[in-house]
Amino acid sequence: MLHEEPGLPSGSLTSTLAMTYGGDLGFTESCLYANFVASLDGVVALGSQDPSSGSAISGGEPEDRFVMGLLRAFADVVLIGAGTLRATAGHRWTPEHVYPAAAADFADLRRRRGRTAGPELAVVTASGDVPTGHPGLRAGALIATTTAGARLLDKRPTAACTVVALGEGPTLRMADVLRVIRARGHTMVLTEGGPRLFGNLVRDHLVDELFLTVSPVVAGRAGTSRPGLVAGLELLPGRWETAELISVRGRASYLFLRYRLHRTHDRGGDHGGG
């Protein structure tokens, strides 16, 4: 551990998990937190031609996969977009899927915290175009969509899933999606959606914390779309979003950063420049 802000919630991890993580980990009782891995030049997704962007950027680093599993072990629900679901055909959003070696410890952590065996999956899709046979949906999921999307899903049965229509419009308000999630008793929400979903959450001031793994690779950009953390939303210079670095861990040349996001405010006057 390189840095840890004093007074963070703690006391949640078993000795085995704490040893692997390099310290304790805890959250406030209600929290929406995001998890990303980024290259040194700020790329978090390699584009549609490479659906396994996270693994390609992280190089499959075991410590990064452990952190992914640990964050899922705390979650009541994992929130993703339909694009993420389509891009990862064989994935399941459970702690043990991404880091099997700690499956028993993750399960013990969930039992001690009074959680179900695994987090519920929540999928956001305005169009309703989801692969209904995806293994991640077999155990059941919440699918938040529009009225038109719900009509499409009626024609492609998802027996194990709960479909919620959130209005007639072509887009969804993330505040409405989160309201439905909270109504199901979920207080700990982990988002592993892509940059566009994260941007929508930032737009609505819904993100409390960000966990960011910085991988020691350079991804580069040329003729493909390779976004950073946020897509579909421009902030600076008019909107000033800041975050406080509250934890830094390191393993080999990887950095594991934890930020607390602050409320936005508009910037007035001269924005400066160098």
**pLDDT for position 139:** 85
Within 13 Å of residue 131, how many CA atoms lie on the same side as its CB? 13
- Residues with Cβ within 8 Å of residue 219, at least 6 apart in sequence: 39, 41, 43, 46, 57, 226
**pLDDT for position 49:** 64
- Residues with Cβ within 8 Å of residue 22, at least 6 apart in sequence: 1, 249
**pLDDT for position 50:** 67
Architecture of 32-218+226-233 per CATH? 3-Layer(aba) Sandwich (3.40)
Q: pTM here? A: 0.93
Burial class (CB in 10 A: 0-12, 13-18, 19+), 8: middle
**pLDDT for position 51:** 60
Residues of the chain predicted below pLDDT 70: 48-52, 157, 263-274
